[in-house]
Amino acid sequence: MKRFLSTTAVLLTLSGTAYAEGHGTGFGDAQVASSDFLASDLIGMRIYNSETEISDTTALARGSKTEWDDLGEVNDLLISENGKMKAVILGIGGFLGVGERDVAVSMDSLKVIREDGAGGDRFLVVTASQEILENAPEFEQMTDDTMGKNAVEATETADEQAADVAEEATDATETAASELATQTALERPNVAREGYAEAEAEMVEKLTAEDLEGSYVYGANDETVGEIGSLIMSDSGKVSQVIVNVGGFLGIGEKPVAVSFEELQVLRNTEGEDVRIYIDSTEEKLEAMPEYEG
């Protein structure tokens, strides 16, 4: 079901000198490239999920999309006042046993895949694990009714005071947990998985940012606890910190935290180049760590 965030009517009054000065400076100058989308093209497009990484430069053989999961469709676009595309609003329905609900996804997380041959269709694909999709937060539009309700609740001073006390207690607990996480380094895990072997130091040293960025980070029970966002290099050229993005959904609402490379274990597939990265932590413990602000 399509839902539009807003409808804006724009009235342009151009006459006399004003028209002559404005004509040709921003009006009618846009050139449409073959890779561009109109908003009307995007809204209503189906969104597919591939649990394996796929490059947006991949030429898709006709019929190959049947291997993907159909998540839903693009319901709307969220655009800031300066015209920047902030997010794509997806309507996910009939997937993983849940009804349709809206989730916000950054445009950078969407990959446009083309079919082989002239006139081939274009498809929007995201790469996410089943766990991430199940826990994706729902996008909620702020309405006048919601703002009015918040204003009424703000006048209830007794409830506010009780909430403030509870919030202060929660903040104190989170601060203590963050300080503990900062002071105590995580132990390097010692995970063994069939078909995987401990990556040799020589191989680990050759891993590049391109190899690691975007890779999932797993806990001891193979649950997804985060995703590698970037690597911080020391002056000597070695990896000094690994930035792990925790929580959120496909780039929206993630919290970056920093861990050392020594706190991670890298396993390599014995029959290929696939690597799996483990950390001795849960998603909740990582979220309690201080946010990286580099």
Residue 176 has pLDDT above 50, yes or no: no
Q: Considering only residues 108 and 194, tell me which one the structure prediction assigns the higher pLDDT.
A: 194
Q: Nearest-5° angle of CA 37, CA 86, CA 91?
A: 75
Which pLDDT score is estimated for 94? 57
Chain segment 90-146, per-residue pLDDT in tens: 888 655 445 678 888 888 888 888 877 766 788 888 887 767 777 788 888 765 565
What SS3 string covers the chain? CCCCCCCCCCCCCCCHHHHHHHCCCCCCCCCCCCCCCCHHHHCCCEEEECCCCCCCCCEECCCHHHHCEEEEEEEEEEECCCCCEEEEEEEECCECCECCEEEEECHHHCEEEEECCCCCCEEEEECCCHHHHHCCCCCCCCCHHHHHHHHHHHCCHHHHHHHHHHHHHHHHHHHHHHHHHHHCCCCCCCCCCCCEEECCHHHHHHCCHHHHCCCEEECCCCCEEEEEEEEEECCCCCEEEEEEEECCECCECCEEEEECHHHEEEEEECCCCCEEEEECCCHHHHHCCCCCCC
Residue 206: pLDDT over 80: no
Is residue 110 within 8 Å of 127, Cβ to Cβ?
no
pLDDT at residue number 211: 78
Alpha carbon of residue 97 to chain centroid:
22
* Per-residue pLDDT reduced to its tens digit, 24-44: 566 766 777 777 778 888 888
Q: Of 70, 79, 74, 69, nearest to 91 (Cα)?
A: 74
Judged against a pLDDT cut of 70, whether residue 256 lies above it is answered with yes
What confidence category does residue 293 fall into, taking pLDDT thresholds of 50, 70 and 90?
A: confident
Q: Which amino acid is at 277?
A: I
Amino acid symbol at 15? S
Contacts with 169 (C-beta within 8 Å, 6 or more apart), sequence order: none
d(CA 153, CA 242): 42
Is the Cβ–Cβ distance between 256 and 243 less than 8 Å?
yes
Q: Does residue 231 surpass a pLDDT of 60? A: yes
pLDDT in tens, 34-70: 777 788 888 888 888 887 777 766 677 766 666 788 8
Q: 220 vs 100, which has greater pLDDT? A: 220
Name all domains of the chain by residue range, CATH numbers in brackets: 37-134 (2.30.30.240), 196-287 (2.30.30.240)
54 contacts 111 by C-beta, under 8 angstroms: yes
Q: How far apart are CA 47 and CA 49, in angstroms?
A: 7
pLDDT at 79: 87
